[in-house]
Amino acid sequence: MIGAFHERFGPTQQPRVFRAPGRVNLIGEHTDYNLGFVLPVALNLATYIAAAPSADGKLRIYSEDRREQREFDASSLGSVEPTRQWTDYPVGVAQELVRAGMPVEGANLLIRSTVPDGSGLSSSAALEVSSALALLAGREFDPLELARLCQRAERNFVGMPCGIMDQYISVFGRAHSAVEIDCRSLGHRLVKLPDGITFIAVNTMVKHALSGSAYHDRVRECASAVEGIAAVYANVKSLRDVSPEQFEGVAARLPEVVARRARHVVTEDARVNRFVEASGQGDVAAMGKLMVESHRSLQHDYEVSCVELDFLVDAALAIDGVYGSRMTGGGFGGCTVTLLRAGAAEAFRARIAQAYHQQFGLTPRIYSCEPSEGAAEVKNYETIPALA
């Protein structure tokens, strides 16, 4: 990667390299913007940025994967408008850094990523967080503030009203652990997963056009559920404040669709806590069951699944050694995550790929979900993957 940087920007400068991972969410879907609980792991799929100051005050951003370069005057970044292209992520982050009192100087950035785009593994957060580190260029910044700043970039500049999960786990990921995030307090605890199991993500290779607008719709529907419930329980500020029992008592007062959306969120929060408990007890059967319940709730109540995801879940459940499976991320395509016996992984990969290909004529990409470290400067360049 250093060689590629020198080739593009000249051999005189020694860049620093920063890495930020993608994630897979084990359970707790569409709960983050309802201030509830999520349980993601950071992946060893990550975005890498080699960066060095530029001599002429320009911010140049080159994406190796897209073979595209964009150039901005660092001094007038504040007036750049969103273009709905990949550069919106680094530019949005740069604007938020300036707003946070961190001036952005001219720099050359070369980006390489192994997080597949549009796959529900959070390539956007990986790009945001790695951009923030590259633009900070070693200046100190509080990690939680960094995650929040990147979330603001996505909300304000990219225009996606996302929760905090993806940016948070990209910053706070930990090898060998899942991370339970409390999206209200913004604290977390590390969750050790039982031995002898593994998680595998399977990519549908599709992303349906609905995903963006449906996300906005769900955010609105949840807000409207809160309004309806707060008319009865004045202390309810978000769906996080509602227990499943309390919810059933007021469900009939809500419009039917809104009630189903809220039911998903309220029961999903409870499932995260039960999943963490089951994990602590090594009860993998219970963990798997909760994942399947989560998927059914996303499929029928929250309605963010699709035929490809449903097929992958059902096909996985028929394969030997599988404890549970569900869609992961925003939905409408992207990946499923499957919990299975470690020894069953190889056969699982072959069988699920074959089943999916037979059904849809597509070869799914498959990723092992080894929990990895959160974002940081890369000190050992030998860990940087080759260009795909």
Query: By the criterion CB under 6 A, which residues form the site for ligand GLA?
Result: 29-30, 32-33, 122, 162-163, 165-166, 329-330
CB of 87 to ligand GLA, least distance (A): 19
CB of 43 to ligand GLA, least distance (A): 13
Task: Give the side-chain half-sphere CA count within 13 A for 38.
Answer: 30
Sheet with 177-182, edge to edge strand ranges = 37-38, 177-182, 188-192
Residue 200 structure tokens: 């595998």
What secondary structure, in 3-state letters, does 288-333 show?
HHHHHHHHHHHHHHCCCCCHHHHHHHHHHHCCCCEEEEEEECCCCE
Residue 181 structure tokens: 């995030």
Residue 182 a catalytic site member: no
The span from the CA of 332 to the CA of 216, in Å, is: 13
Residue pair 66/334 in contact (Cβ under 8 Å)? The answer is no
Q: How far apart are the first and last CA of the chain?
A: 12
Q: What is the DSSP letter of 251?
A: G
Q: What is the DSSP letter of 153?
A: I
Residues 6+ apart with CB under 8 A from 369: 24, 41, 43, 198, 199, 200, 201, 337
Residue 154 φ/ψ, nearest 5 degrees: -70, -40
The span from the CA of 185 to the CA of 192, in Å, is: 21
Residue pair 118/86 in contact (Cβ under 8 Å)? The answer is no
What number of other Cβ atoms are within 10 A of residue 275's Cβ? 29
Residue 261 structure tokens: 């959306």
What number of other Cβ atoms are within 10 A of residue 209's Cβ? 9
- From the list 88, 117, 142, 166, the catalytic residue is 166
Query: What stretches of the chain adopt beta strand conformation (E)?
Result: 16-25, 37-38, 40-53, 58-63, 68-73, 107-113, 177-182, 188-192, 197-207, 322-328, 333-341, 366-368, 376-377
Which residue numbers are catalytic?
166
